[in-house]
Amino acid sequence: MASWRKRGRIAGVVVFIVAVLIIATYVVRKGPGSGEAAGTADSLAASDTTTEQANQAAADSGKKGEEDDEKDVDLVPVEVAEAQPRKISSYYLTTAALEPEKQVAVLAKIAGEVKKLLVEEGAVVREGDLICELDDKEQKVALDEARINRDKQKREYERLRSIHERSLLSDKELSDIKYQYELAENQYEAALLRYEYTKIRAPFDGVITLREVDRGENVSIGSILFEIADTNPLLVRLYLPEKEIASVKVGQEVLITPDSDPASQLKGKITLISPSVDERTGTIKVTVETRGNAMPGSFVRVRIVTETHEETLAIPRRGVVSDAGETFVYVAEADSARKIEVRVGFEDEEYAEILGGIAEGDTVIVIGTGGLRTGTKIKILNRADADSVTQAARVDK
């Protein structure tokens, strides 16, 4: 009995200890573990809320951006300019070629071999500059012989003239010796000239435009050696219809634009107007003189101003539209365009004179007119530039 009681007490203690351990384990797990889980749940909930708010904001922003983009797509981008008074001229336009005032071929005056070439095409030369030499050995020998003979005849003539003064020599004898001396002098001059012909010199100030010979080449009398041109000034020969001649006069300025360099512009002056009309063409020759960095032979466009209007209303030519027999412009009014018919007067390369339809200060669309209609919504791209240009124009006035 005592043994069973003892075993019962032991079993009860064991059960109590196990129960305490189970309860302790449950408390430990429920306390801290439950707090972390709750915290995590709260954090996830807050994160979900924030994400939803961000997504909603992004959606609202995107929607607003799309609305702005749609609004901009509906606007036609344009550039504008303000109608302002300015000087503008009418002109007669024609084409021609620049010509040197003088151009000649330099010819060989004596046969011989080319020994030296001293210039090339494009070289600028002065009158008298040596540009080529031919072989001169034969001419030099002939010149020396002629000089010796001349000097000999001169001494003989002077000696006999002294005798003649003492009446020891007849007039005829003196005349004969004088003739011999003069003949020797002429022969010397001819030999000197032939010697000089071996030295080829520039006949005037100009530019070598052509070289026709090479060193070592044998040339004959009359062979073309070079061509030289006087390019300062250059000439433009125009042939104007008779009806245009009343608007031009000697001394009048003209504008010259080379086809090779449209950005550059030369000024010219009318120097000659032919007094007669060409019966075949009905034109009158007008000669224009110009100076500048241009080459002879260049094709040019020539503008002769025939009439000028001072302080007349004008706009850039790009703003004038012609369609189906109408001439009109588009004026920017607030954020839309309005079509207005206009009357155009003089035109130059950049501007058109406006005789009616718009007024000074009107804002005219100059770029982006394609597809516009009255009422078309527009977006002005150069508003600040247009305002500054207008302000500068007003200050200049």
Per-residue pLDDT reduced to its tens digit, 66-96: 555 445 557 999 999 999 999 998 888 999 9
Asked whether residue 203 is assigned to any structural domain, the reply reads no
According to the model, what pLDDT value does residue 133 have? 97
Question: Are 262 and 298 in a shared domain?
Answer: yes
- Contact, 211 vs 228, CB < 8 A? no
On whether residue 265 sits in a domain, the answer given is: yes
Strands 266-273 and 283-290: antiparallel
Residue 22 has pLDDT above 80, yes or no: no
Distance set, CA 8 to CA 17, 20, 21, 91 (Å): 14, 18, 20, 136
Between 48 and 221, whose confidence is greater? 221
Asked if residue 172 is part of any domain, the answer here is yes
Could you tell me the CATH number of the domain that includes residue 190?
A: 1.10.287
Q: Residue 323 is inside which H or E element, if any? A: strand 321-323
For 142-167, how does the pLDDT look when each residue is reduced to its tens digit (9 = 90+)? 999 999 999 999 999 999 988 888 88
User: What confidence tier does 109 reach under pLDDT thresholds 50, 70, 90?
Assistant: very high
Residue 53 has pLDDT above 60, yes or no: no
CA distance 303 to 347: 12
Residue 106 lies in a domain: no
For residue 105, what pLDDT is reported? 96
User: Containing domain of residue 181, as a range?
Assistant: 136-197
- Whether 362 and 321 map to the same domain: the answer is yes
CB 339 within 8 A of CB 54: no
**What span, in angstroms and rounded, lies between the C-alpha atoms of 199 and 109?**
10
Say yes or no to pLDDT of 36 above 60: no
Final residue before a domain boundary, out of 293, 308, 323: 308
More confident residue, 43 or 214: 214
Number of H-type helices and E-type strands within the chain: 4, 20
Does 340 fall in a domain?
Answer: yes
Q: What percentage of the chain carries pLDDT values higher than 90?
A: 61
Q: Which of 41-50, 161-170, 325-334 has the lowest mean pLDDT?
A: 41-50
Report the alpha-carbon distance of residue 303 to residue 254 in Å, rounded.
6
Residues 318 and 382 in one domain: yes
Instruction: Determine what percent of the chain falls in helix, strand and coil, rounding each to the nearest 5.
Output: 40, 40, 25
Last residue of a domain, one of 278, 293, 308: 308
Whether residues 317 and 288 share a domain: the answer is: no
348 and 275 in a single domain? The answer is no
Specify the pLDDT at position 157: 92
Kindly state whether residues 302 and 320 are assigned to the same domain: no
CATH of the domain at 386: 2.40.420.20
- The pLDDT score that the predictor gives to residue 393 is 47
361 shares its domain with 378 = yes
Q: Please indicate, yes or no, whether residues 172 and 238 belong to a single structural domain of this protein.
A: no
Same domain, 331 and 391: yes
pLDDT of residue 60: 54
Q: CATH number for the domain including 280?
A: 2.40.30.170
Binned at pLDDT 50, 70 and 90, residue 320 comes out as very high
pLDDT at 226: 97
Selected residue with higher pLDDT from 38 and 58: 58
Residues in the chain: 397
Same domain, yes or no, for 145 and 192?
A: yes
Q: Provide the pLDDT confidence category of residue 348 given band limits of 50, 70 and 90.
A: confident
Residue 272 lies in a domain: yes
Query: CA-CA distance, 199 to 116, in Å (whole number)?
Result: 10
Q: What is the DSSP letter of 293?
A: S
Contact 109, 203 (CB under 8 A): no
Give the position of tokens 């095409």: 121
- Residue 381 counted as domain residue: yes
Picking from 287, 308, 329, the residue at the C-terminal end of a domain is 308
Angle between helical axes of 137-165 and 171-196 (0-180°, round to 10): 160
Could you tell me if 253 and 303 lie in one domain?
Answer: yes
Q: Write out pLDDT tens, residues 136-148.
A: 999 999 999 999 9
> Does residue 282 form part of some domain?
yes
Number of domains in the chain: 3
pLDDT of residue 294: 82
Q: Write down the pLDDT at residue 260.
A: 86
Same domain for 302 and 315, yes or no, is no
